[in-house]
Structure 1
Amino acid sequence: MSGEKEEKNDKAVDGDEFENIKEPEIEIEDAELNALPRNTSPDNVESATDNTKFELKHPVHPHSIVEKLEASEKDTFLTNNVLNGKDEINSRLEIENDGNVSEIIIEQEEDEMLYKVMDTPPFHLSLMYAFQQVLTPVAGNLTVSILVAEFVCASNDELMKAKLMCTTMFMGGLCTLLQSSIGIGLPLYQGPSSAYIVPLIAMKGIKEWSCDIDAGLFLNGTSNSTYQMRLEEKQLQNLQMLSGSLAIAGLIHTLMGAFGIIGYLLRLIGPVTVVPSITLIGLYIYKPATRFSETSWGIALSVLSLGLILSLYLANWESPFPAWSRNKGFRIVRTKIHKSFAILISILFGWSLCAILTTTDVFPNDPTSKQFQARTDARIDVLQNFNWFFFPYPFQFGLPTFSIGVFANYFLATIISILDSIGDYYACAKICRAPSPPIQAVNRGIFTEGFCSILGGFMGTGHATTTYGGNIGVIGMSKVASRRVFQILGLIFMFFGIIGKIGALFITLPYPVLGGVQLLSFGIFIGIVLSNLQYIDLNSTRNLAIIGMSLLIGLMIPYFVQRNPNALDVGKQQITSALKMVLSNPSFVGGMLALFLDNTIPGTLEERGITTWIPEINQSEEMNNKADFAEKKAIYSLEFLPKNIRKCFLFGKLPFLPEYTVRKGSI
């Protein structure tokens, strides 16, 4: 330090002299000292250690600390402040034993969150951050809704697609609101899971799920109206079977969380089971992806290429982006926003290309041509005809029925969804700098997801919801982890579901754009699934044999069933139909075989990769005690409930409630 600075430090610091300290003298980097809040009193200071160090409950002005200090020896004080309403900083005051300030350093921690989980940003900022999160899962909502329509024979019924889209957005918003409020309590978006639908595409090859309507209906003058009535009847029949089967699978999902059997489940199902099961899902996604992309391969590949460039090739590049703050005004900042919104930017790019090619009539205006579906006005009538307001309600497509084949698929998807969600819980806590969720919170999160699956079945979505990793990535980029933002996000999606024109607008998305998005998103999805192989011993012949045989037989059996539909005839129609639907599902066949072999062939937990699933829960308590987190464990408690309810006898007995005590070694 210079002599001038040392002389300045010899003076007592009162309020006026502190404000006169200039930036060069105290080495404040990229911040103004006057931005520090001054509206709190020394009462915010409380003793933290025996060495007269203090922990501040609220940000205070440094001279308040000096007035409170008992002079003894040099102490370090920490306080968190927000500069310019944006940048999270650490300001450290070095206090000499005579009460003088020797040095003030303001630093910004790279991993500090702008808003933590329990923080409540101003409403206008919360709304802005929520809209930023809205943009990420839109493509997933649209893709899954279209896949449901494909399965229930509504591929050409745009009004049905719009209804499914609105219902999907409404349920996604409701589940997000429940999960962030009374579920696990972390900022998580609950969106539609493709794992529930994609395997059903493979079942379209058997007669029971075929969309072919009797051609004889076209032989009379009323064939068109009769055909339409039969088609609508088929759609409703299929949706009702999806609804009932999903509700039963959701009930099992709920019970798994309610009775805390997640730990036992993780001992049975590991990477050796999950990898072949979900890989077989991916191997069948090429069918709808090809159907959409073939309308214009050029547009589909352009969307795919731009998405790859933004998300992968330019992953480490920081693009210039305009920003404004009250103290600094307008300026250009460097950010990786292009990576966070790669899919959205790709959709807008492809949509714009299709609009240009539609206006110039490059795409034919002939509805019988495949390229007609690439036009932006191919389904414009749904935007005109669909109501402004659409209110999803239970049993809107009729009373649910049950199908053993659909249930078998949904049950397997439920297990996969649970495993995926547990991984997302811990990833979200880590990125938010929060303690790892205790097993009670994990159980409550799974319980909430299961309850939402039941609601999804009653509402007729045809799929359950699961956590979206993409929104967790946006938290890491924006440094905004406030669950209040995600509660507003849920309300926004519910609003979108009620405003029918919004759902109808998404349905007008040109097919090649949707095909390009599927190529990108499902390609990454399959890669993520295969990444689970890193947890198992790939030098083990046991593991390689199980995975290889599961993949091979998972492809062979459905192929055999489709070529020989009468081979499974046991004399009773219902049993025969159930066998056909179960054995024509490659994911179920391969997954069940892998589960059986992995739990019967001798192998250590480490060899099977199970040890990478269990320790996260077993050791989370110990890790939480050692680590320095920005949040407290209170984020996982239900503090909004009155104390007399939380002290109820049941709260200590139910595994998904905060007061439940986990027996050591039970997981």
Structure 2
Amino acid sequence: MGQAESDTDADSRGASDFVEYGVEDRPPLGTAALLGVQHYLTMVGANIAVPLILAGALGMPSEVIPRFVGTFFVVSGVATLAQTTFGNRYPIVQGAPFSMLASALAVVGVVTASNPAGPDWQAALLQLQGAIVVAALVEVLVGYFGLFGRLRGFVSPVVIAPTIALIGLSLFSTPQVTAATNNWPLLLLTVLLVVLFSQYLDTRSRAARLFPVLLGVVGAYLVAVALSLSGVYAPGSPGYVDVFSVFDAPLFVAIYPLQWGVAGGANTVSVALPLVGDVLFGVPQVTTPFVVGMLAGVAASMVESFGDYHAVARLSGMGAPSEKRIDHGIGMEGAMNVFAGLMGAGGSTSYSENIGAIGITGVASRYVVQVGAAIMLVVGFVGWFGQLVATVPDPIVGGLFVAMFGQIVAVGLSQLEYVDLDSSRNTFVVGFALFAGLAIPAYMGNVGDAATFRQGMAGVWLLGPVLGSKLVADVVFVIGSTGMAVGGLCAFVLDNTIAGTRAERGLDEWEASAEENEEFVSFYDRVVRGRDDGSGSSGSRAD
């Protein structure tokens, strides 16, 4: 069985030697700004991919896409500030969720298919907005009524280990990494630069230690730009950078709640504002089947975030999160999903990429993440920025994934230090959960989409009418497509039904090093009740 710290005091669970800046540390503003931008660089691929995928499914005009992308960055900035200040107060970036993307695409697909001529893309987006807002309200209730945090008493390291590991493993097959037409030299250059700065030069240069991702991405991007301008990379080829497209985008884009109004549409309100003139506000539409389908995506997002919280706590040198911290995190994610729905974005959730950045850089400062979020909030209104980010080639994004997501897998497996690995019971649960978490999503991917899966389930003997219903089939499809949800649920069921002692499952040692509810001081506790969160005594560094 792995060894755990014997001292259960909160002070004994401070940041490890690996952590360069702990959760409460506040680097100088200039350093924090660069570190914050670096945190956001790690999630650029996903935060760009989700709006681009949705824009394609909606049939959104190309001239609107920079504004759509900017909306996602504005939502990310606001959600991150809210989570780090009022929510779980972990140094974790919030961004567009892949876990809700399948549900979103299903909503858009059904709306589009219901009208052979095809509804206006804004009308379809209003339906998506309504589904996200109502489903997110359920997430708010689950979080702030303490329903999700109560699961913690039934969750051991045997469950958490495969759940976190699958967060990293789930992205091994992304097109940015495995596409047959990938630009492997550029991808490998990105990996080599990140590894060089983070692993070989980190002891020789403070800049290399703090900014390995930023240096690696910028270096690879400049090489790609040079090769594109010189004609080595042809337009349309992997790695090509169309730098001149940046100047074709508008300098400023207007982003505001309910912004996707349809000119002359029945669900649009026109309001005359001083200095602005007439502004269209689109009213989100609520359709029950779409809400139910989106609830499956929200459920998968909550399971993913549950694993993310444990991973970021582990990398930040903190104890496992308490029920109270988990509940505040899930509740705030729900509130920010409501905000994302009103803004016309595809939702918001904790970002695994950001956790991988902590593993590479050792920068776990909440202040750094907040500064980065403020920067993203501002630049989200700059059309040039959205287009510039969109020019980052997929091979560079893939290189980032290769360099960072192995860190998350390792963090997940490190939870097993508390577990008796000589127990065949434990090795069976972990192995089964990992295999199922990879195999079932792969099967769902081969099936195709939710509609195809629904048709197949309808043909099941005797239970077909139930399993083939839209409610059941869509929920199963969305959760089954999310590796960490599948693996986590399998491990949860097996670990709580197969006989095993608390010591064998690692619960005794794990809980001894975990955070107590009293140790988490929420925003309400600090402001209304005047409780001290202890940050003033943490010895925050500014060097």
TM-score clears 0.5: yes
Is the CA contact (8 Å cut-off) linking 1:387 and 1:501 kept in structure 2? yes
Is the CA contact (8 Å cut-off) linking 2:311 and 2:408 kept in structure 1? no
Query: What's the counterpart of residue 418 of structure 1?
Result: 306
CA separation of 1:532/1:299 partners in 2, compared to 1, >3 Å: closer, same or farther? Answer: same
Structure 1 distance, partners of 2:20, 2:472, is: 57
Structure 2 distance, partners of 1:554, 1:117, is: 35
More helix by share: 2
Structure 2 distance, partners of 1:509, 1:400, is: 36
Of 598-607 and 351-360, the range deviating more from structure 2: 598-607
Written as runs of structure 1 = structure 2, the 5 A alignment for 1:384-533 is 384-394=248-258, 396=260, 399=285, 402=290, 404=292, 406-421=294-309, 424=312, 443-466=327-350, 468-469=354-355, 483=367, 488-533=371-416
1:568 equivalent in alignment to 2:457 = yes
Partner of residue 142 from structure 1, selected from 44, 54, 66 = 44
Query: What's the counterpart of residue 19 of structure 1?
Result: none
Is the CA contact (8 Å cut-off) linking 1:358 and 1:375 kept in structure 2? yes
CA separation of 1:472/1:254 partners in 2, compared to 1, >3 Å: closer, same or farther? Answer: farther
CA separation of 1:557/1:449 partners in 2, compared to 1, >3 Å: closer, same or farther? Answer: closer
Is the CA contact (8 Å cut-off) linking 2:73 and 2:376 kept in structure 1? yes
Structure 1 distance, partners of 2:44, 2:176, is: 13
Query: What's the counterpart of residue 597 of structure 1?
Result: 494
Of 463-472 and 347-356, the range deviating more from structure 2: 463-472
1:172 equivalent in alignment to 2:42 = no
More strand by share: 1
Secondary structure of residue in 2 paired with 1:136: helix
State the 1:361 CA deviation. Answer: 0.8
1:313 equivalent in alignment to 2:200 = yes
CA separation of 1:159/1:516 partners in 2, compared to 1, >3 Å: closer, same or farther? Answer: farther
Which letter does structure 2 place at the counterpart of 1:495? V
State the 1:178 CA deviation. Answer: 2.6
Partner of residue 259 from structure 1, selected from 145, 167, 172 = 145
Structure 1 distance, partners of 2:443, 2:325, is: 44
Secondary structure of residue in 2 paired with 1:286: coil
Q: RMSD of aligned C-alpha atoms?
A: 4.7
State the 1:509 CA deviation. Answer: 1.3
Secondary structure of residue in 2 paired with 1:543: helix
Structure 2 distance, partners of 1:130, 1:196, is: 30
State the 1:180 CA deviation. Answer: 4.3
CA separation of 1:553/1:453 partners in 2, compared to 1, >3 Å: closer, same or farther? Answer: same
Tell me the alpha carbon deviations over residues 94-134 of structure 1, each in whole angstroms, 9 at most, x when there is no partner: xxxxxxxxxxxxxxxx9999999598x9xxx53x2441232
Tell me the alpha carbon deviations over residues 176-203 of structure 1, each in whole angstroms, 9 at most, x when there is no partner: 33344444567x35332656368x49x9
Of 347-356 and 269-278, the range deviating more from structure 2: 269-278
Query: What's the counterpart of residue 211 of structure 2?
Result: 341
Query: What's the counterpart of residue 82 of structure 1?
Result: none
Is the CA contact (8 Å cut-off) linking 2:135 and 2:292 kept in structure 1? no
Partner of residue 173 from structure 2, selected from 274, 286, 289 = 286
Query: What's the counterpart of residue 25 of structure 1?
Result: none
State the 1:414 CA deviation. Answer: 0.8
Query: What's the counterpart of residue 226 of structure 2?
Result: 356
Is the CA contact (8 Å cut-off) linking 1:144 and 1:197 kept in structure 2? no
State the 1:250 CA deviation. Answer: 3.9
Which protein is bigger by CA-based radius of gyration?
Answer: 1
Secondary structure of residue in 2 paired with 1:516: helix
1:381 equivalent in alignment to 2:245 = yes
Structure 1 distance, partners of 2:382, 2:331, is: 29
Written as runs of structure 1 = structure 2, the 5 A alignment for 1:91-102 is none
Which letter does structure 1 place at the counterpart of 2:140? T
CA separation of 1:113/1:446 partners in 2, compared to 1, >3 Å: closer, same or farther? Answer: same
Higher relative contact order (CA 8 A, sep 6+): 2
CA separation of 1:438/1:636 partners in 2, compared to 1, >3 Å: closer, same or farther? Answer: farther
Is the CA contact (8 Å cut-off) linking 1:307 and 1:343 kept in structure 2? yes
Structure 2 distance, partners of 1:586, 1:184, is: 23
Is the CA contact (8 Å cut-off) linking 1:278 and 1:529 kept in structure 2? yes
State the 1:210 CA deviation. Answer: 8.2
Which letter does structure 1 place at the counterpart of 2:184? W
TM-score, normalised to structure 1, is: 0.58
Written as runs of structure 1 = structure 2, the 5 A alignment for 1:358-373 is 358-365=228-235, 367=236, 371=237, 373=238
Query: What's the counterpart of residue 419 of structure 2?
Result: 536
Partner of residue 268 from structure 1, selected from 154, 172, 195 = 154
State the 1:459 CA deviation. Answer: 2.7
Secondary structure of residue in 2 paired with 1:294: coil
CA separation of 1:524/1:389 partners in 2, compared to 1, >3 Å: closer, same or farther? Answer: same
Partner of residue 66 from structure 2, selected from 159, 162, 169 = 162
Structure 2 distance, partners of 1:440, 1:381, is: 47
State the 1:585 CA deviation. Answer: 1.5
CA separation of 1:259/1:477 partners in 2, compared to 1, >3 Å: closer, same or farther? Answer: closer
Query: What's the counterpart of residue 503 of structure 2?
Result: 606
Secondary structure of residue in 2 paired with 1:594: helix
Structure 2 distance, partners of 1:598, 1:636, is: 35
Is the CA contact (8 Å cut-off) linking 1:166 and 1:503 kept in structure 2? yes
Tell me the alpha carbon deviations over residues 258-299 of structure 1, each in whole angstroms, 9 at most, x when there is no partner: 234565221223333344445555245413223668342111
What are the ranges of 5 or more consecutive residues in structure 2 without an aligned counterpart?
Answer: 1-16, 261-281, 459-463, 534-543
Paired residues in the alignment total 472
Structure 2 distance, partners of 1:292, 1:167, is: 28
Structure 2 distance, partners of 1:293, 1:256, is: 42
Secondary structure of residue in 1 paired with 2:350: strand
CA separation of 1:613/1:462 partners in 2, compared to 1, >3 Å: closer, same or farther? Answer: farther
Which letter does structure 2 place at the counterpart of 1:597? L
